[in-house]
Structure 1
Amino acid sequence: MSTINLLKIVAILDKYKPKLYITEPCEILKWNYITMNQTEFSSNCLYIGKLSSVCDIVSSLNTNLILYEDCNIPELDLEESLSNIILLISDCDAEHISNQIQSLFIDKQRLGSCAIKILKACQQGYNTQQLLDLGYEMLKNPLLLVDISLCFIAHSGGNTIKDEPLWEWTLSKGYVTEEYVKSIMVYDFDNYTDNNADSIEIPLSFWNNELMHHRQLVGRVIHGNKPMSYLKLLEYNQPITECDEEILVMICNVLALTMKDPNITNPSSNSLVDSFLTALLNEKLYDHDAIEERTRLFGLKLYENLFVITIKTENRPINDQLYFLKRIYQNYFNRQTVVIYHGQIVVIFDTMSKELFTDQTLPVFQDLLNKNNCIAGISKIFYHLYDLPEYYKQSMSCLYLGDLFKIDQPILNYDNYIIPHMIVHLHGETNIHNLIHPVVQTLKEMDEKKGTDFLNTLLTYINHNQNITLTSKTLHLHYNTVKYRIKRIEEISNIDFSNSETIFHICLSSKVLKILEFF
């Protein structure tokens, strides 16, 4: 079980100016209030209560006590006691003190729980990115890992940040600003030269708020008493506590083991993985067992849910621009599974969630695309790398349909274009005019001949689940006008509004009509 050193408890009580009678600092397992007429006390527990409740037996006890001085007692009794005694004046805020001590034990329990999670992550061979994802899950604040030269390695949660320019710069450019380098060089690096690095005990973490809008705690990833990299925790979503600082240091210690392993590659650059993914996209590698074996050999550890995101620029880029864009999207997505393929950026994004974006991350990605004059096509969710070619084609279909329909949106999701894609595909195989329901064709011809608006009324009525009130509001017509039109449509076409197949066919017909406008 987790314990707390008595001196840590003494430290949080220092502002109350306690009288201390400490025989030997020990590890405290738990705490309790002193009960009436209590005579049994454990040596590894802390007890809180009034001095008067133990004044007759205090000299004979061997335990740990926080006592409120509500009576007089010979000083010698306290000095000769085998117990560790912290004596406070009687008018201290007892409830606040108890809450502080309880918080210490809660934090210690949390540390123990996090330590177990981190240990399991080590046993499971987590890579750098997965460790940062775990850290973000535990700390609830964004994490950014940079190397000793302050160049980007990985991040978790950084794509939700909107008002921290230095982080946004680092994630998009891959390095920090020169201004920041100068500020931190003065603050940090001057003390740790090769001549004295072995003789100086380097702090495991420090606060660095230079040029920042939010406070930032920096943990050192150290090997051989020399920093290898820096893990930054941004105080963005919630305050950073002392417990958070200890968890950050634990993560840094594990990263030091991970990053010194020559088999662990930098997640921002891996030509072997690029070649593997390109082979999959080219369908040169299709054996399922072989694909899974290479995934393991290449250290490609992916979460279970996969998406393909194909990103193209509005103007045809030169190679230098493509590699620059690749780095931008590698930094944003925090994945090594980003390749240049047929002049476009292809991202294989793995996630624990069934949803690719949240309400917070979607606008950030849209802004990034707009800033770089890019458009993204996104596939449906899939679960195995051997299915990559099929889902890559879905993302490409999004981009094709976006061009065809002149859609002015930076993100095109295949979920929204499945039926249009089917219709466009059929257009190359058959005359899609034949897909139009006779009712739709009849009303369309009547509208063109007589200037009526029956077809639009019908489609609006169906889109509003055959609700006349909602239809009239949408069309800005009187209720009775819409009611009359629906009655006339029934007379003209003999439509059966209770037939779900008919309704679906009419909806499909409306999509066919819209698509025919582009051919």
Structure 2
Amino acid sequence: MMDKKDNKNLNRIRVKRSLNDPGREQMLTALFSKKRCIEGKKAKLVAALLSCRGLQHIIDVGYEVLGNPMFVSDLGYHVLAFNKNAEVGDPSWPTAEPETEFEAYERIKKLNDSGVFERLYASPVPCIENFDYSSTRWMAHKLTIKEKNIGHIAVVEAHKIFADMDLELLQFLCSIVASELQKENIQSSHFENEYEHFLLDLLEEKITRTDTIQKQAKKLNLNSRKYSLLVTISPDQKAEKVMSLSYLKTIINRLIGTEKSIVYHNKITILLQSHRKEGVANTILNKLRDFLATNEMRAGISPCFQSLTEFKIHYRQSIKALELGTALSPQDLFYDYNDYAVYHLLETAGADSDLKAFCNPVLFDLIDYDRHYQTDYQHNLYIHLLHDGNVTKTAQYFQIHRNSMKYRIKKIEEILNISLADPETKFSLRLSFKILNYLGEEQIG
């Protein structure tokens, strides 16, 4: 009989003897056999990692172990490796002739809207999914490095029905692949490029010295064009998941032909550059317009700037334009900070003051007059000021004769006892309208 000290590292199962249960021995034999099988398959995966033959070799061994083909994807839905010799009749399977960017995007967006990626990246265990476009089932599990999701492995039920042990094996395979990605430094080379590192360092103030910023900008050829601006894009709620944002960034980059973009605080920020100040954004924004409209996104645009030392300032301006524009003009797609700077000023001033105190009091007299006599002179005045006091353009806006518009303007001047020819009066009234618009107390548009 062996001493207990010699047995302390052995696995034991204590079974009560029963003469009336002849199937128990067969059950235990099956359990031990299954355990040996799983451990043998895991050993093959470990050996594939230790062979130092790379990610593709590990995935090919994974194919042998699980009996079904698979692919590895990063957060941008780029396929890092797949079983090239597998025959799979499924539209999601990678091929030598991949689908077009927007075919892929539509498919990924449909999957994202269905919640499959949300389930996948939230689940601690592999998921098995059915899709309406495919007769085959898929099993997938997330890849993580230091508790951060970096991608996933998807296995298609092409050759054999998924077994219970496949779930455990896929989970183990994901840990093997994550180790390989760390070893090959794929995380940095596939998930973030040099531009992203630099722009993130600017935003997080990891580099602040002017000479260091200029040196790095020169290395990345970011100082070859004189003017820059930032476009920050906010997706709708459905797409506000890190998984889809990475893919959306990839699509937008290819749409406008750039790599100078980052995902930061659940938004996509793009650095645009041009030799001419007026040419920085127009072409790019026209390319983006349909894409943003189709996908229910909006974008905030910073003013032009010439030094990347000001990057964070202008990033905040693009964010503020997006925030104020969405609140004040939700029907628009693009919000230029230059159009919303005064509202930013009002927001800042409003933290300590009653903004209505800054309004020209005669405007409230006109609003009261309209309410009493059922007229709409405040709207006429607002449009007139928008056209910089040009009677002809204001008349064209209302589709009335110029003389009719002149009469309305004269009537407003009489009611308020002012002259709209006075620049200071016009400025005061325009500011007053902006204050009321910002406060949302009067419908003046």
TM normalised by structure 2 equals 0.52
**Displacement, 1:361?**
4.8
Are 2:280 and 1:356 aligned? yes
The 2-side partners of 1:352 and 1:294 are apart by 20
The 2-side partners of 1:337 and 1:168 are apart by 25
- Identity of paired residues, percent? 27
| Contact 2:256–2:287, Cα closer than 8 Å, also in 1 | no
The 1-side partners of 2:420 and 2:329 are apart by 33
Are 2:213 and 1:291 aligned? yes
2:327: which partner in 1? 404
2:202: which partner in 1? 280
Are 2:419 and 1:496 aligned? yes
| Contact 1:268–1:331, Cα closer than 8 Å, also in 2 | no
| Contact 2:195–2:261, Cα closer than 8 Å, also in 1 | no
The 2-side partners of 1:294 and 1:466 are apart by 49
1:455: which partner in 2? 378
| Contact 1:308–1:395, Cα closer than 8 Å, also in 2 | yes
**Displacement, 1:419?**
2.1
* One-letter code aligned to 2:280: L
Report Cα offsets for 1:274-298 as digits up to 9, x if no partner: 2221121122322111111233345
The 2-side partners of 1:269 and 1:302 are apart by 26
The 2-side partners of 1:445 and 1:393 are apart by 39
Task: Indicate the SS of the match to 1:388.
Answer: helix
| Contact 1:270–1:336, Cα closer than 8 Å, also in 2 | no
2:233: which partner in 1? 311
The 2-side partners of 1:341 and 1:433 are apart by 36
Compare CA radii of gyration and give the structure with the larger one: 1
| Contact 2:301–2:318, Cα closer than 8 Å, also in 1 | yes
Task: Indicate the SS of the match to 1:386.
Answer: helix
Report Cα offsets for 1:347-373 as digits up to 9, x if no partner: 112222322244x65432111222333
Are 2:250 and 1:327 aligned? yes
Structure number with the higher strand fraction is 1
Equivalent residue runs for 1:63-462 within 5 Å:
169-170=100-101, 270-297=192-219, 300=222, 302-315=224-237, 316-354=239-277, 355-358=279-282, 361-462=284-385
Task: Indicate the SS of the match to 1:417.
Answer: helix
Task: Indicate the SS of the match to 2:321.
Answer: helix
The 1-side partners of 2:301 and 2:189 are apart by 22
| Contact 1:268–1:335, Cα closer than 8 Å, also in 2 | no
| Contact 2:360–2:429, Cα closer than 8 Å, also in 1 | yes
The 1-side partners of 2:381 and 2:100 are apart by 52
The 2-side partners of 1:476 and 1:296 are apart by 54
Report Cα offsets for 1:368-405 as digits up to 9, x if no partner: 22233322111111111110001001110111012322
The 2-side partners of 1:299 and 1:477 are apart by 55
Structure number with the higher helix fraction is 2
Task: Indicate the SS of the match to 2:364.
Answer: helix
The 2-side partners of 1:291 and 1:170 are apart by 34
1:254: which partner in 2? none
The 2-side partners of 1:373 and 1:470 are apart by 33
| Pairwise CA RMSD | 3.3
* One-letter code aligned to 1:332: L
The 2-side partners of 1:335 and 1:268 are apart by 16
The 1-side partners of 2:375 and 2:272 are apart by 50
1:261: which partner in 2? none
* One-letter code aligned to 1:388: F
Higher-RCO chain (CA-CA 8 Å, sequence separation at least 6): 2
The 2-side partners of 1:302 and 1:269 are apart by 26
Where does structure 1 lack aligned partners over 5 or more consecutive residues?
1-148, 150-165, 175-265
The 1-side partners of 2:392 and 2:195 are apart by 57
The 1-side partners of 2:296 and 2:408 are apart by 46
**Displacement, 1:518?**
6.6
* One-letter code aligned to 1:293: K
| Contact 1:405–1:518, Cα closer than 8 Å, also in 2 | no
Structure 1 residues 173 and 356, CA gap change in structure 2 (3 angstroms): farther
Are 2:440 and 1:517 aligned? yes
Task: Indicate the SS of the match to 2:332.
Answer: coil
